[in-house]
Amino acid sequence: MTYDESIKISKLIFEKKIALVQTFLLAVSPWHILFSRVGFRAILFPFFFCLGLFLFFKGLRKGKFLVLSAVAFSFSLYTYSSARVFIPLFLIFLSLFFFKDLIKIRPHSIIACVILVLVLVVLGLHWVSPPGMARASATLQTGLVQSVKNYFSYFSPNFLFFNGDPNLRHSIQGVGQLYSLEILTVTAGLIALFVSFVRTKNKHLMVLFVGIMLYPIPAALTEPNHALRAIIGCVFFPIVSGYGIHWVVGYLKKKPLRIFVTTGILLTIFAGFLNFGKKYFYEYPFYSWYHWDFGWKQAIALSKRKNYRNIFVSNYYFLPHCFILFYSKYPPEKYQKAPIQSLTQNNFKISHFSMPPYHIVSLEDLDPSECEDSLIITFPRQKEYIRTRMPLKEVGTVKTPDGKVLKILLEITK
């Protein structure tokens, strides 16, 4: 969906050929592919932002689209926490750049403004409340100097072009958020945007430049090199990179040479895409499994082979209730009546919680006399300790992609 809106924005600013190149760069972007395939909620942010910006540019010509733009930007505020910071800042600059144009369509501008203000007030009341600030209070960086350092980390070649986010849920080893070749095309694009704006005073170009400058701010308020919190950057960089290719190729006088250079650049990026695909599908699973809490789907499936009265899950696992709820298809309405209450942003430890027949418990506290017809899901290292307290029979194991035993299922025998 983001591709469609991105090409529409590019067409409004540039000619069709440039827009197609920019859309190709977004389509093969490691940044966009990874979060789209995983299905992070944050991937909705780029889509609604692109839709809002496209409708805004359309609204400058036909005022009725301005109201729809306000609705799209409002939806983006519900997608991910980074939008809380980025969207208001971006809209301020957008309003300043196009203030004279907005005055000409005053009725639609007022309606759009009212919509945005109402949404921001309603959401703002929640954001500043204790529940709304729970996550922010645990992640926000209060030091100005550190925030500035964080900000510049999002422009570092290591983050953008070579190694990306160090968190293996957000990137893969040896691949940046963009392709290595784009260090040249992005640089050229930024220079081209500035030069073109100086020459033409085209405010649309400055919007892209400001977007690049603003994109790290929400993430910089928390930590460096966080690709998810800076996900809106996956929209701006392909556009700037594509414009850089156009700008460089434009200096070549002969058409065959222009076609040759453009094709060469795109084929090199496509080769990078193939390399990314190889790493992503054939290498990534073997070293990233730990970061994805691999194995719960298999463990829950094995636990269903027999109708156990109780299934005890070690509380040493990190937030196992999420996976149990999902893979066991536990009724949502049942969970909502008695949800887990013990978690805080600073303590993700679950001591005791039940979703019958599953029970997250401290295995050390199990009473053998109450464990008849039961199953235990735990780490291999806990097997011998539990065996000293009650008779066990191993009925299943879950192995990592590289063959290591990750989880064992132990049936408590009479």
Which token pair is 392?
């066990």
* Pairwise pLDDT comparison (128 vs 279), residue with the higher score: 279
Q: Using an 8 Å Cβ cutoff, are 269 and 181 in contact?
A: yes
Q: What pLDDT does residue 40 have? A: 85
* Pairwise pLDDT comparison (1 vs 67), residue with the higher score: 67
Q: Which stretch, 136-145, 266-275, 339-348, 386-395, has highest mean pLDDT?
A: 266-275
Express each pLDDT in 224-246 by its tens digit. 999 999 999 999 999 999 989 98
For residue 346, pLDDT beyond 70: no
Express each pLDDT in 177-195 by its tens digit. 999 999 999 999 999 888 8
Q: What pLDDT does residue 205 have? A: 85
Q: Which whole number is the average pLDDT over 331-341?
A: 89
Q: Which whole number is the average pLDDT over 281-292?
A: 92
Q: What pLDDT does residue 28 have? A: 93
Cβ neighbours around 41 below 10 Å, total: 11
For residue 135, pLDDT beyond 80: no
Q: Report how far apart, in Å, the C-alpha atoms of 53 and of each of 27, 69, 72 are.
A: 19, 7, 9
By CB neighbour count within 10 A (0-12 exposed, 13-18 middle, 19+ buried), where does 53 fall?
Answer: buried
Q: Using an 8 Å Cβ cutoff, are 229 and 221 in contact?
A: no
Q: What pLDDT does residue 413 have? A: 79
CA dist 74 and 64 (Å) reads 16
pLDDT band at 211 (very low <50, low <70, confident <90, very high): very high
